[in-house]
Structure 1
């Protein structure tokens, strides 16, 4: 799992390629909840190989991302090179607990299968709250992958994500499970 939480070296590069190929269905399901629109500014935390950055940048006006893995940043930069040159995408290597964006910079933010790796989840969600504009939407999604994970694990994960968002000041926090084989995707959705 370490190679998926913070991919490094050759194994990390291979993990990134595997994520780009294998996670399509999960990403498309979660992105329906993000609902990117023309003219919006959107942030992704933990963008991995940059596939969702690419998907969202074809719709939104601007997409930024932060990922703690230098290997993933490089893969994502290659995948999004044209959009970066056009100024529609901006990617950063770094800690999501300290985002390099001004207050109220984004209309929406999302994270797919990244929150379970955050060393200080409350710091990250507070930063996400800070960089969202008033009324902005946050979507956190995690598909549990622990041994023995099942629908109950996903429900518990969704409740934990919602508690995190409530503790960070978000409003209208809801949870849902998105179908994805035997282990649903846990989602927490909220507004600032």
Structure 2
């Protein structure tokens, strides 16, 4: 059984990967979360020439999949982890050189983008770490075009609270709580879809994880 210190270290890595251990955590997150990530991307309704923003892209192992959804898409990723930004640039070097993908750091609250910069925005498993969620949601609203979408994908509280490390800095959500958060912002909810998938824990056990994608529209 993991010690409290080990759980705290894991929670910190999940929030903001760094160092050699951060690479391993990022690879694990990409593998464990790929179903949720594809779900979020598939529900963006992407069309040719659209500009897509992602919050918290991790190692960016999914970006090729996203760019194959339509012609001439442009992807931008924001990360709080410098290690993840560099790792995503390395993994997607050809896409960066072709100017199909770009990666930047941000502080988790504000961005440097102009108003109406993106057609579609998505984020997977970051909502637990938002320091100022209302302010962040309104900031994303500012940089999204009128009629643009924002997909927020997260694992339901009932599942998350079974994980021992979430006591260290995680804010857990169920659908009702997430919808109440959105109601405090300029966004409108266009749809909510939940699914259950089988995932492997760090001890090798198979468990059922319920997750939800809430689609917001400006």
Q: TM-score, normalised by structure 2?
A: 0.79
Q: Which residue does 2:174 correspond to in 1?
A: 157
2:214 is matched with which residue?
Answer: 188
CA RMSD in angstroms, aligned pairs only = 1.9
Is the alpha carbon distance of 1:156 and 1:117 closer, same or farther for their aligned partners in structure 2, counting shifts above 3 Å? Answer: closer
Counterparts of 1:66 and 1:125 in 2: how far apart (Å)?
Answer: 14
* CA distance in 1: counterparts of 2:62 and 2:20, whole angstroms: 22
Cα gap change, 1:108 to 1:120, in 2 (>3 Å): same
2:87 and 2:145 mapped to 1: Cα distance?
29
Contact 1:178 1:185 in 2 (8 A): yes
Structure 2 residue 51 is the aligned partner of structure 1 residue 25? no
The aligned residue for residue 176 of structure 1 is 193
- CA 1:156–1:74: 2 relative to 1, 3 Å: closer
Is structure 2 residue 146 aligned with structure 1 residue 134?
A: yes
* Residue in structure 1 matched with residue 162 of structure 2 by the alignment: 148
Counterpart Cα distance in 2 of 1:54 and 1:131: 24
Counterparts of 1:1-192 in structure 2, within 5 Å, are 1-60=11-70, 61-144=73-156, 146-148=160-162, 157-181=174-198, 182-192=208-218
TM-score by length of 1: 0.89
Cα 1:172–1:118, aligned 2, differ >3 Å: closer, same or farther?
Answer: closer
Cα distance change on mapping 1:8 and 1:156 into 2, 3 Å: closer
For structure 1, the 5+ residue unaligned runs are: 150-154
Q: Does structure 1 retain, via aligned residues, the 8 Å contact 2:108–2:131?
A: no
Once residues 83 and 186 of structure 2 are traced to their aligned partners in structure 1, the CA distance between those partners, rounded to angstroms, is 33
Per-residue CA distance 1:129-156 (angstroms, 9 max, x = gap): 011000001100111453437xxxxx95
Rounded to whole Å, the distance in 2 between the matches of 1:5 and 1:28 is 21
1:164 to 1:52, Cα distance in 2 relative to 1, 3 A: farther
User: Is contact 1:53-1:65 (8 Å) kept?
Assistant: no
Q: What secondary structure, in the 3-state scheme, does the structure 2 residue paired with 1:42 have?
A: strand
**Deviation, structure 1 residue 166:** 2.3
Deviation at 1:114, TM superposition (A): 0.8
What is the DSSP-based 3-state SS (H/G/I as helix, E as strand, rest coil) of the residue aligned with 1:34?
coil
Measured after TM superposition, the shift of residue 8 of structure 1 is 1.1
Asked whether the 8 Å contact 2:189–2:214 carries over to 1, the reply is: no
